[in-house]
Structure 1
Amino acid sequence: MHPSMIVVRKASAEERLPLYRMLELYQHDLSDIWDQDLDVHGEYGYSLDRFWHDTDCHAFVALVDGKYAGFALVDTAVKVGPAGFWMDQFFVLKKYRRSGVGRELATQVFAALPGKWEVGQMTENAAAQAFWRGVIKDYTRGDYWERRLTDGWWQGVVQGLEVKPIA
């Protein structure tokens, strides 16, 4: 599938429910490597409150031809090093994977928030590691670092990069 029109924008308050529902799909996709259980309502129940109440958190949605295709959640309070931004969660619906939607979402989110970045992937998520290595390598023309962390709050692979403001 090759999408004809990809739009990436900051999520509005009206998009909170679609974003929440995509988060449920995301968590289900990762349920074989992310140890979580459903709550009494049959949901994973990821809280989005901080993305609407905290100015240090940012929620983005991606749409293809006007239909929701994915999201990116960015936080500045969470990081493993001195970076300013942490890619908290990132998801593209299976229908749109390997079609350029994820790459477009990532690059537009980076461009919207210039500064130091960290992007982490779970050790078991080889597909995410390959995706982010490719996107970040291309976006930075190879000017980034990567580490595998084995202790601390985050255990997995992390890439760091700096996004320059668009002149």
Structure 2
Amino acid sequence: MHTDATATELIANLYQFYAYESSDWEDEEVENDGRFYIHHAHLARYWQEPDWSAGLILVDGFIAGFLLVERSELPGIDAKEFADLFILRKYRRRGIGRALFQQLVCASGEPWVISLYRDDPLGMPFAQALLGELPSHWWRALPSPEPALLSYLLHCPRQ
């Protein structure tokens, strides 16, 4: 995990690709400067808040994407959240997302939340595949504050 301003800038830059890929189903528009909006104060929380982190995903020394982890803000849930995952197209379908999920969520032995949008054409199949590989008693759907959002609480035993 990087903790300096350069990592913040890198993830903010990569977030433009992430926003572009989701712009059709999230109905996002490009700002007047030709970029998608980034809430920089929220992004800064990944370096400031306890149990929040931002990390670059590297493959053979090259930047392949990013992962944002935060403390779940769902009422009554005390868990980390596998929040935003973005992998550049070149590096997809190599098992990177699955490996991150297994290393962080499954190997921790702690509760985690995974939230995703129903209309996300990449996130939904990814999450369904991951959940389908786990015993059903390791996870459960959570009530969501937003109808467009699905949230799951996972608690894998420590491996």
Fold shared, TM-score > 0.5 on shorter chain: yes
2:25 counterpart residue number: 33
Question: Is it true that 1:11 corresponds to 2:2 in the alignment?
Answer: yes
Distance 1:109 1:135 in 2: 13
Distance 1:36 1:141, change over 3 A: same
Residues 88-136 of structure 1: CA distance to partner in whole angstroms, max 9, x if unpaired? 2111111111111121222223257552111111111243111112223
Residues 19-61 of structure 1: CA distance to partner in whole angstroms, max 9, x if unpaired? 1111111011000011323334332224211011112311122
Distance 1:41 1:78, change over 3 A: farther
Distance 2:117 2:80 in 1: 18
Question: Is it true that 1:53 corresponds to 2:48 in the alignment?
Answer: yes
Greater percentage in helix: 2
Structure 2: tracts of 5 or more residues without a match = none
SS at match of 1:105: helix
2:151 counterpart residue number: 158
2:74 counterpart residue number: 79
| 1:84 counterpart letter in structure 2 | A
User: What TM-score comes out, normalization by structure 2 length?
Assistant: 0.80
Number of matched pairs:
154
Deviation larger for 107-116 or 92-101:
107-116
| 2:7 counterpart letter in structure 1 | E
Judge conservation of contact 2:72–2:113 (CA < 8 Å) in 1: no
2:124 counterpart residue number: 129
Residues 67-89 of structure 1: CA distance to partner in whole angstroms, max 9, x if unpaired? 11121111114236514112221
Judge conservation of contact 1:60–1:109 (CA < 8 Å) in 2: no
% of aligned pairs identical? Answer: 23
1:145 counterpart residue number: 140
| 1:52 counterpart letter in structure 2 | W
2:93 counterpart residue number: 98
User: What TM-score comes out, normalization by structure 1 length?
Assistant: 0.77
Deviation larger for 124-133 or 140-149:
140-149
Distance 1:20 1:43 in 2: 11
The root-mean-square deviation of aligned C-alpha atoms, in Å, is: 2.5
| 1:12 counterpart letter in structure 2 | T
| 2:151 counterpart letter in structure 1 | V
| 2:114 counterpart letter in structure 1 | V
Structure 1: tracts of 5 or more residues without a match = 1-9
Structure 1 moving runs of 4+ over 6 Å: none
